[in-house]
Amino acid sequence: MSFTIVSPYAKKHRARWVLVWLGVLVLVIGGCVVGKQVQLRHEMIQIAHSEQARKEIEAGLKLEDPHAFTSQGVIHSYEVDDSSLEHNPMGGINGYLIINGDRKSDHGANLNLDRFYVDGKLGSLRVMVDDDPWLDTQIFKKYDLNTPKSTLQWVCTMIGDYGPGWIEEVESGRLGRMESDGEGGQRSVDDTLTGREMRRRFGSDWATRKMSPQKEAEVDDALRKLRQQADERYRRACKRFGIQPENEDE
């Protein structure tokens, strides 16, 4: 029987090489991950700035503002905020449009780009543009009753949810505000009349707190009545602007 004596120096030398190779492995894996993310971001930027996306974005903005990109319109220009582009869970791209070069404020439009499979083939690029409340308010003020029906429909919905003074509340920043979610992100705050009243009656966590069956029935009844009130405000607003409420026959 023979024994091999390994010197302390050899052990340290071997351990040092193990650490070196582990470091190299980490760098290689990290480089691959970062490289893939860089490539993915580059592809998203290319898609968002493509000619097809440009046409779809401009068409979407013109649906909101019929005189967009002219001196008579509210929307004079737009710019894709490259830093906002990210993949959504459905495989599309979400982002943000800077309107009229105003980078200092949060007034712009949300952007969604997607492609759908049709008969097993990838279809054309679909773009959805969703203005923020402030921009919609400016469009409504600009065109008054000549605003497109879709925008008027939105106005009536806002009146139903927030009440007659919603324009002033949007401008003062009290509606649709965001708050920290505690994890570095943000979440919207339900600041509708219904949301405010439910929080006042049952607490800020009324939608998630575990309650007794009797209390749940009370909450459901209150929510139903408040929504009925909002629907009634909505119908009155539609009547005021002379348009047909949604989900009702023309």
Does residue 187 register a pLDDT over 80? Answer: no
Q: Between 27 and 110, where is the model more confident?
A: 110
Given pLDDT bands bounded at 50, 70 and 90, which one contains residue 145? very low
Cα–Cα distance measured from residue 138 to residue 201, given in angstroms and rounded to the nearest whole number: 34
**pLDDT attached to residue 62:** 82
Write the burial class of residue 38 (CB in 10 Å: 0-12 exposed, 13-18 middle, 19+ buried): exposed
pTM of the model: 0.47
208-212: which pairs have CB atoms within 8 A and are 24 or more residues apart?
none
Q: Specify which residues 178 forms β-bridges with.
A: 188
The pair phi, psi for residue 110, each rounded to 5°, is -80, 145
Q: Comparing C-alpha atoms, which of 167, 157, 136, 168 is closest to residue 243?
A: 157
The predicted model gives 119-130 an average pLDDT of 68
Q: Which range, 22-36, 129-143, 159-173, 232-246, has the best average confidence (pLDDT)?
A: 232-246
Q: Is 182's pLDDT higher than 80?
A: no
Structure tokens at 6: 């390994």
CA distances from 246 to 153, 163, 178 (A): 8, 18, 28
Q: Could you give the angle at the alpha carbon of 110 between the alpha carbons of 176 and 169, nearest 5°?
A: 25
CA dihedral 147, 153, 159, 160 (to 10 degrees): 170
What pLDDT digit, counting tens, does each position of 47-63 carry? 888 888 888 888 888 87
Banded pLDDT at 249 (limits 50, 70, 90): very low
Predicted confidence (pLDDT) at residue 134 exceeds the cutoff of 60: yes
For the segment 98-121, the average pLDDT, to the nearest whole number, is: 73
Q: How far is CA 20 from the centre of its chain?
A: 45
> Cβ neighbours of residue 202 under 8 Å, at least 6 residues apart?
209, 219, 222
Tokens linked to 194? 């219904």
What is residue 250's predicted lDDT score, i.e. its pLDDT? 43
Q: Residue 122 above 70 pLDDT?
A: no
Residues 6+ away with beta carbon under 8 Å from 114? 90, 91, 92, 93, 125, 126, 128
Once rounded to an integer, what is the mean pLDDT over residues 197-224? 87
> What are the structure tokens assigned to 26, written together?
């980490």
Strand residues in 57-104 grouped as ranges (E)? 78-80, 86-87, 93-99
CB atoms closer than 10 angstroms to residue 228: 10
Domain boundaries of the chain, sorted by first residue: 48-130, 137-176+189-241
Mean pLDDT of the chain: 75
